[in-house]
Structure 1
Amino acid sequence: MEFSDFQLKPFLLDAISRLNFKEPTDIQKQIIPTILAGKSVIGQSQTGTGKSHSFLLPLIHAIDPAKDEVQVVITSPSRELAEQLYQTAIQLVAEAPDEIRIVNYVGGTDKKRQIAKLASHQPHIVIGTPGRIVDLINEQALKVYTATKMVIDEADMTLDLGFLFDVDQIAGRLPENIQMLVFSATIPENLKPFLKKYMANPSIIQLKPEHIIAPSIDNYLLSTKGQPKIDVLYQVLKMGQPYLALIFANTKQNVDEIAEGLRARGIKTAVLHGDVPARERKRIMKRVHNMEYQFMVATDLAARGIDIEGVSHVINYEVPKDMEFFVHRTGRTGRGNLKGTAITLYSPEEEKIIDELEAYGVIFKPITIEKDQLVETYERKRRELRSAPKNQDPDHRIKGMVNKAKKNVKPGYKRKLKQEIQSQQKRKHRAGQNRMKSR
């Protein structure tokens, strides 16, 4: 299938060609024709699958530039994600024969100026954070009641950050027959009442990834072996020569402590978490894009709101409690078929969490540090697997034979028992080796 098969307007096909997109991704193949057909959609997909273009292309295709009114409203839970969507949309309309007005409304910008501009022209496409869009609606400056389509991007994150009420306020101002498009990595229970309220019979498109971790990512596991984690992290960063490394921790306090520890060791480090003021976040992101920082320490929710090009390394300083966060973290690298490296540091007390990740389907390559180099090592549970046959109790059949042997029932019975036990031990040993190979 090619993009031309969707019969999009010529200027959109030209934009796709300039972006060097060869063929649609799996999610684009399913979602673009569904949106073009006017259906509401609930889309679930892994990060980095081309989701943004899957809804922007058909929505822009449907815009009527002759109408001076809002036709599409797109909400995003963070300023960074909203800016990313805005820039993507601007790329697509750059060569449109008639102007398609797209405006990005986010907090921390000049609201009075925005209200003044809205007095003369309404945008065709509204992109922004829920709070600022609601503010402009309540000021009676932004007139969204003419919109026929609404997108809620990163719906689960919108819920996590407490913005679903604002999104509900926006949706409530739109026509009843609105085409609603909801995109989310997961569909939490608390999100379902909202979906039921605004979506009567949506098309549910759920793309389960072939790989939990993309094949373009080397997913390594490094034991700290009781050493201070900050020292191990410092060694890894000095050896890895990353183009840009994102380092994840579970709390804002830990992010600050890690950054302080790295700075004390001479590593210039950026910080991103919920307590960083909006203006400072914008300044940091600009400096990251300008490659003034090679290292950034972040929390999960803060980093889910960014999409930085060129992330070569993701370091899990702490193992996340939520499996979805692990997938989102590693998905920051290895994008666009570029190679990426993910390294998870774990201490002995985090063994259980690693077990849970592996049970979830995450496959690690164990590594160790030798002579200032990261080298692949053995299966971390090799001792346990090797000793398992010796430690396991004989099965019920052998137990019975043992009881009989104690009574000297028949001549040669002990020899037969010994042979049976040895045979079973060999089978279990082979099974253990097979498990090791399959990991």
Structure 2
Amino acid sequence: MNQFKQYALSADVIAGLDAMHITTPTPIQERVIPAVLRGESVIGQSQTGSGKTHAFLVPILSQIAPEKDQVQAVITAPSRELATQLYTVATTLASALPEVRIQRYVGGTDKAKQIEKLKHQQPHIVIGTPGRILDLIRAGALAAHTATTFVVDEADMTLDMGFLSAVDSIAATFPKDLQMLVFSATIPQKLQPFLKKYMANPTEIEIRPQTVIADTVDNWLIAAKGRDKNQMIYQLLTIGQPFLVLIFANTKTSVDHIHQYLTDQGLDVAKIHGGIPPRERKRVMKDVAALKYQYVVATDLAARGIDIKGVSHVINAEIPSDNEFFIHRVGRTGRNGMSGIAITLYAPGQEDQIAELEHMGIHFTPKAIKNGEIVDSYDRNRRTTRKAKEDPRSLAIRGLAKKEQKKHMPGYKKKIQKAIATERRQNSRIKKREELRAARKAKKS
């Protein structure tokens, strides 16, 4: 039995869920769906892969009135890939609702054609990137002001990528009684002014993860120790039989270098980053989704735009500058109860970055590559955990002691004691002189 039937959802939406083999709501869906159906504005916070997309699409689709020839819901996503992903889920869910019109508007598509089409007919649901949606509104083509529901998906990423001002401008076109739904893995402090501006008394729903990383993921840490990281990545890809591997790097240049190296080794590798033309990026994403590639190298922009079943491994070629990106990267594997492996490579000098991640509650298992195998390694902190003996002697005295011990001269202990006494007298004189100087200064002032 489909457990979504407990909510006041339309039979057609239930049929769409059945077609997607979704029968049991996740914790975020259990709390968000009833709130949205009651007309409440919601701030929903939960980790990547928790089911936020269905949490808002299911009740929105269930409440669309097809007989009203106007925009009823607007949904923004910070990247073309994410908008396309939302559009795909929405159209699949609405498979039994052919009269509901859903349109996607993103950069890199034919704006003139979209404007011409909008002159004849408005969609019921608008899904797209903030920039393109705002362009269509300002052109007088998209009559979004009739919408009663506005969704800001991946709000933290929207902020990070500088699209919040565009979202603000879109929100300003809606009526005051607007139902606003904001979803994100994290709610940064810089997002608060925007939330307070448009949401008077929102229902705040936060699903705290039991662990920062899913229990189904083995989180390995491998020290590069001056070795060629590209070569290490190649070894990791060719050890065992990974089903699908996502390799993440911080910059487009790093992605290009890794991609070129792996391609030169004879591997068929896809790459995804913002520097690739939109049409080519869309084609690559389709091929990746169709499992035509076993290996994908990507930047963090694509980290949230890839939602592929069966990712067996994630490799962090570089530690991300933003710790939240680490969670989003690793969240690509070990989903829906399946097991996964996340491997992070780190270089000497990056121990503090690893320590920051551990402070967030992320636990690493140390590993190493030896003789073509991945083996257990030692804790990098093993030296610091040893209890050092305290030595009250100064560095000068300790140095003298070692020198005299090497000479094996008789009476060296007396020499050391004499040196300690001399040092104490000198220190005492210095201290008295400093006290006298301080007293003179105080008297003058």
Scaled to the shorter chain, the TM-score interval is 0.7 to 0.9
Give, in angstroms, the shift of residue 394 of structure 1.
9.1
Q: Which residue does 2:354 correspond to in 1?
A: 354
Q: Which residue does 1:24 correspond to in 2?
A: 25
Q: Secondary structure at the match of 1:356?
A: helix
Q: How far apart in 1 are the matches of 2:22 and 2:122? A: 31
Q: Determine if the alignment matches structure 1 residue 37 to structure 2 residue 28.
A: no
Q: How far apart in 2 are the matches of 1:283 and 1:14? A: 30
Q: Secondary structure at the match of 1:337?
A: coil
Q: Which residue does 1:212 correspond to in 2?
A: 212
Q: Determine if the alignment matches structure 1 residue 188 to structure 2 residue 198.
A: no
Give, in angstroms, the shift of residue 335 of structure 1.
1.4
Q: How far apart in 2 are the matches of 1:275 and 1:342? A: 26
Give, in angstroms, the shift of residue 206 of structure 1.
1.3
Q: How far apart in 2 are the matches of 1:79 and 1:325? A: 18
Q: Which residue does 1:428 correspond to in 2?
A: none
Read off the aligned partner of 2:297 and give its amino acid letter.
V
Structure 1 runs (4+) greater than 4 angstroms displaced: none
Read off the aligned partner of 1:53 and give its amino acid letter.
H
Residue range with higher mean Cα deviation, 85-94 or 273-282: 273-282
Q: Which residue does 1:291 correspond to in 2?
A: 291
Q: Is the 8 A contact 1:268 1:293 kept in 2?
A: yes
Q: Secondary structure at the match of 1:393?
A: coil
Alignment of 1:20-419 (within 5 A): 20-96=21-97, 99-385=99-385, 388-389=386-387, 391-393=388-390
Q: How far apart in 2 are the matches of 1:392 and 1:233? A: 41
Q: Secondary structure at the match of 1:141?
A: coil
Q: Secondary structure at the match of 1:107?
A: coil
Q: Secondary structure at the match of 1:382?
A: coil
Spell out, residue by residue over 1:171-212, the C-alpha distance to the aligned partner (whole angstroms, 9 max, x if none).
111111100001122222332221111111111111110011
Residue range with higher mean Cα deviation, 45-54 or 109-118: 109-118
Q: How far apart in 1 are the matches of 2:208 and 2:196? A: 23
Give, in angstroms, the shift of residue 64 of structure 1.
0.8
Give, in angstroms, the shift of residue 383 of structure 1.
4.5
List gaps (5 residues or longer) in structure 2. Answer: 393-445
Q: Secondary structure at the match of 2:336?
A: helix
Q: Is the 8 A contact 1:77 1:305 kept in 2?
A: no
Q: Is the 8 A contact 1:73 1:126 kept in 2?
A: yes
Read off the aligned partner of 1:162 and give its amino acid letter.
G
Read off the aligned partner of 1:373 and give its amino acid letter.
E
Q: How far apart in 1 are the matches of 2:158 and 2:224? A: 35
Q: Which residue does 1:430 correspond to in 2?
A: none
Q: Is the 8 A contact 1:76 1:152 kept in 2?
A: yes
Read off the aligned partner of 2:68 and give its amino acid letter.
K
Q: Secondary structure at the match of 2:96?
A: coil
Aligned residues: 391
Q: Is the 8 A contact 2:247 2:298 kept in 1?
A: yes
- TM-score, normalised via structure 2 length: 0.84
Q: Which residue does 2:412 correspond to in 1?
A: none
Residue range with higher mean Cα deviation, 259-268 or 360-369: 259-268
Q: Is the 8 A contact 1:81 1:307 kept in 2?
A: no
Q: Is the 8 A contact 1:149 1:180 kept in 2?
A: yes
List gaps (5 residues or longer) in structure 1. Answer: 396-439
Spell out, residue by residue over 1:47-96, the C-alpha distance to the aligned partner (whole angstroms, 9 max, x if none).
00010000001111111111111100001111111111111111111113
Q: Which residue does 1:410 correspond to in 2?
A: none
- RMSD after superposition: 1.9
Give, in angstroms, the shift of residue 392 of structure 1.
4.4
Q: Which residue does 1:5 correspond to in 2?
A: 6
Read off the aligned partner of 2:390 and give its amino acid letter.
D
Q: Is the 8 A contact 2:136 2:142 kept in 1?
A: yes
Q: How far apart in 2 are the matches of 1:316 and 1:236? A: 12
Q: How far apart in 2 are the matches of 1:160 and 1:356? A: 20
* Higher Cα radius of gyration: 2
